[in-house]
């Protein structure tokens, strides 16, 4: 299930894919979604108006992973290591449900700031 994260104010799009599990299918069926993000270090969170169940709670994630942060009911995009991380492993503030992976130039996400708009859409193909 291919998706794209469009950041209109920044002028770029990051592609990704959702896992074919209950959470991934729930999110995919709810697209498109529009939200504003909050940046926490190398994590970018934004609220999504869907209910999902935790399936694969992880306390450590990889660069480029897409997570669903259950406590805040938000999608979380991880785009780089934090000071307490090792290599491309990231330790988020709370365990996350892994729902997919980003593809493409993830380094563009270094430009994201609090309040940036994000639109998540189905990626119908190249």
Looking at residue 57, what is its pLDDT? 85
* Pairwise CA distance, residues 106 & 80, whole Å: 8
pLDDT at 51: 77
Distance from C-alpha of 28 to C-alpha of 67, rounded to nearest angstrom: 14
For 55-68, how does the pLDDT look when each residue is reduced to its tens digit (9 = 90+)? 778 888 889 999 98
pLDDT of residue 72: 62
Q: Region 86-103: what's the mean pLDDT?
A: 86
Domain 2-122 carries which CATH code? 2.40.100.20
The pLDDT assigned to 105 comes to 87
Whether the per-residue pLDDT at 7 is higher than 80: the answer is yes
């Amino acid at each position: 299930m291919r998706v794209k994260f469009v950041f209109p104010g920044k002028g770029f799009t990051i592609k990704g894919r959702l896992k074919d599990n209950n959470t991934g299918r729930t999110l995919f069926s709810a697209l498109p979604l529009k939200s504003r993000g909050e940046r926490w270090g190398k994590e970018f969170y934004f609220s999504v108006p869907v209910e999902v169940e935790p399936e694969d709670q992880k306390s450590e994630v990889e660069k480029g992973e897409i997570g669903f942060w259950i406590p805040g009911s938000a999608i979380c995009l991880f785009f780089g290591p934090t000071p307490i991380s090792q290599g491309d492993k990231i330790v988020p503030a709370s365990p996350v449900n892994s729902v997919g992976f980003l593809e493409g130039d993830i380094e563009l996400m270094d430009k994201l700031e609090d309040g940036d708009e994000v639109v998540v859409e189905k990626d119908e193909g190249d």
